Amino acid sequence: MHYKKPLELTSQIATNINASVILMHGLGADGNDFAPIVQKLNLPNVRFILPHAPAMAVTRNSGYIMPAWYDLYGLTGSSQEDEKGIKQSQEYINSLIENELARGIPASRIVLAGFSQGGAIALYTALRHPQKLAGVLALSTYLPIKSKLVDEAHIANAKAPIFMAHGTYDDVISLELCKVSLKVLQANHYDVRWHQYNMAHNVSLEEIQDIHTFLTAVLA
């Protein structure tokens, strides 16, 4: 699988990078998609890593080749899931975490974040990671491979704070599907901070402000 070099962004006032946020885009987009939001967050001393998903044929989109973190068959509770592809993306994101560790950023100051399909990878990877992370941003997304969470989750991130947000009018990943994932996380005693916005499958200004508050708190 071919991965382009991730986009890296920092605030103009960054003088001493001491934290990293690995932020994954949604299906069909790329790392540049979230650059304007990173600019709006304007967090000093935080490095944002915006990776680009590899191009692949997506079954749900009639085999059309596009950037994707894994193949997608459907978005219902009973849809088949591409566990092999999800694990490949997990391995890639873990390699980006290792890069940040090598640059002197401790795992406890690394946040995994993502929107839609990228958010699914953020949740999947963070809850299985063997080192304590600072937290997770799960935006307009769902928890993949729910049936294996209990067996595969690592205790290191059992208490990781999770910012989970969804739009009331999301017609791509339904609010109902997201809330199934929310209930699974809550049933397993994860620290989920739930946010619901009057929006579709996108990111709102109010949500960006709440993300800023969350990141400021977990990276304090």
What pLDDT is attached to residue 148? 96
What pLDDT is attached to residue 2? 84
Asked, for residue 161, whether it belongs to a domain, the answer is yes
pTM of the model: 0.96
CA-to-CA separations, 147 to 79, 92, 98, 100, 175, in angstroms, rounded: 13, 22, 27, 30, 20
Confidence of residue 72 (pLDDT cuts 50, 70, 90): very high
What pLDDT is attached to residue 15? 75
Does the structure show a pLDDT above 80 at 13? no
Asked, for residue 1, whether it belongs to a domain, the answer is no
CATH number at 201 reads 3.40.50.1820
Burial class (CB in 10 A: 0-12, 13-18, 19+), 54: middle
The catalytic residues are 116, 170, 201
Percent of the chain with pLDDT over 90: 92
- List residues bridging with 23 in a β-sheet: 113
Task: Report the alpha-carbon distance of residue 197 to residue 22 in Å, rounded.
Answer: 23
Does the structure show a pLDDT above 80 at 104? yes
Instruction: List the domain range (segments joined by +) for residue 31.
Output: 7-218
What pLDDT is attached to residue 1? 77
pLDDT one-digit tens code per residue, 114-145:
999 999 999 999 999 999 999 999 999 999 99
Asked, for residue 2, whether it belongs to a domain, the answer is no
How many domains in the chain? Answer: 1
More confident of the two residues 16 and 121 = 121
What pLDDT is attached to residue 14? 62
pLDDT one-digit tens code per residue, 175-216:
999 999 999 999 999 999 999 999 999 999 999 999 999 999
Asked, for residue 16, whether it belongs to a domain, the answer is yes
Please calculate the CA angle 17-192-80 and round it to the nearest 5 degrees.
100
The total number of residues shown for the chain amounts to 220
What pLDDT is attached to residue 177? 93
Asked, for residue 51, whether it belongs to a domain, the answer is yes
Mean pLDDT of the chain: 95
Give the residue from 185, 124, 190, 136 showing the smallest Cα distance to 163.
Answer: 136
Say if CB 69 and CB 86 are below 8 A apart: yes
Percent of the chain with pLDDT over 70: 99
What pLDDT is attached to residue 161? 98
Task: Report the alpha-carbon distance of residue 163 to residue 170 in Å, rounded.
Answer: 18
Say if CB 129 and CB 154 are below 8 A apart: yes
Residues 162-175 have a mean pLDDT of 97
Does the structure show a pLDDT above 90 at 77? no
